[in-house]
C-alpha cells in the first residue's frame, strides 16, 4: 500500500495511508511526498489525493456585482482618458472621409484636402488609443466639410434668388 508523508507545523510527518489522510482533513495546499514523487509538492498535484478534498474545492462562487455604474455610462470624449477606463473602448467617431472626398472633387480642393487629412487622423488616433485626439480630428474634418458646402449652398441660393428677381423685373 502506498504511503505519504506530509508537512505539519513545518515538520515532516508520516508515513500515512490514504485512509489515514482522509481522517486528517488535509487541504489541497498541504505539502506531500511519496516514494514515486521527486520532490515535496502540494496535495492537489497528486491525482490519488484529489478525492480527499474534492468537497472543499467545490465551493459556489460569490455573487457577481456590476462595478459602480461604469458599464452603463455613455462614452465621453472630452473628460475621460484611457487611464480612467482601460477596458472600455468608446465607439469610433465619424471620419467624414466620403464627404471630404466629395468636397474635394466638387467644391473646394484646398478645404477638401484638409478635411481628408483630418478624416484619416480619426482612425489612426482611435486605434492608437488616443480617443480625445480622434474626437478632435473628427470635429475638424466635419468643420472643413461643412464650411465649403454651406458657402457654396449659400452662393447658389443667392444666385437663384437674384436670377428669379431679375427674371421677374425684366420679364
If you average pLDDT over residues 94-122, what whole number do you get? 90
Give per-residue burial for 60-98: e unless 16+ CB within 10 Å, then b: eeeeeeeeeeeeeeeeebeebeeeeeeeeebeebebbbe
What is the helix (H) or strand (E) element at residue 16, kind and residue range? strand 11-16
Contact 44, 53 (CB under 8 A): yes
**Residue 51 pLDDT > 50:** yes
**Residue 75 pLDDT > 70:** no
Among 5-9, 25-29, 72-76, whose mean pLDDT is lowest? 72-76
Report the percentage of the chain scoring pLDDT > 90. 18
**Residue 78 pLDDT > 60:** no
Q: How confident is the model at residue 144 (pLDDT cuts 50, 70, 90)?
A: very high
Mean pLDDT of the chain: 81
d(CA 23, CA 4): 14
If you average pLDDT over residues 41-66, what whole number do you get? 70
State whether the Cα torsion 158-160-161-164 is positive or negative: positive
Cell of 158: 443667392
Strands 41-42 and 31-33: antiparallel
Q: How confident is the model at residue 14 (pLDDT cuts 50, 70, 90)?
A: confident
Sheet holding 31-33, edge to edge: 11-16, 4-8, 31-33, 41-42
**Residue 134 pLDDT > 80:** yes
Parse the chain into domains and list their residue ranges: 4-54, 90-170
Q: How confident is the model at residue 128 (pLDDT cuts 50, 70, 90)?
A: confident
Contact 128, 92 (CB under 8 A): no
pTM of the model as a whole: 0.44
d(CA 12, CA 142): 75
State whether the Cα torsion 8-9-10-13 is positive or negative: negative
Phi-psi sector, 72: left (phi>0), alpha (psi -120 to 50), beta:
alpha
Amino acid at each position: 500500500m502506498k504511503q505519504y508523508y506530509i508537512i505539519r507545523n513545518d515538520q515532516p510527518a508520516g508515513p500515512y495511508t490514504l485512509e489515514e489522510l482522509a481522517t486528517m482533513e488535509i487541504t489541497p495546499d498541504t505539502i506531500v511526498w511519496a516514494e514515486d514523487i521527486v520532490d515535496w509538492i502540494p496535495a492537489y498535484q497528486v491525482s490519488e489525493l484529489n478525492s480527499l478534498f474534492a468537497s472543499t474545492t467545490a465551493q459556489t462562487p460569490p455573487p457577481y456585482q456590476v462595478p459602480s455604474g461604469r458599464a452603463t455610462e455613455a462614452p465621453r470624449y472630452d473628460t475621460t482618458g484611457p487611464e480612467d477606463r482601460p477596458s472600455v473602448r468608446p465607439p469610433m467617431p465619424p471620419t467624414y472621409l466620403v464627404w471630404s472626398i466629395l468636397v474635394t472633387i466638387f467644391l473646394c480642393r484646398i478645404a477638401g484636402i484638409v478635411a481628408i487629412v483630418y478624416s484619416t487622423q480619426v482612425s489612426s488616433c482611435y486605434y492608437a488609443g488616443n480617443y480625445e485626439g480622434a474626437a478632435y480630428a473628427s470635429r475638424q474634418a466635419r468643420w472643413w466639410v461643412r464650411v465649403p458646402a454651406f458657402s457654396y449652398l449659400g452662393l447658389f441660393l443667392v444666385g437663384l434668388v437674384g436670377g428669379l428677381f431679375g427674371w421677374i423685373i425684366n420679364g
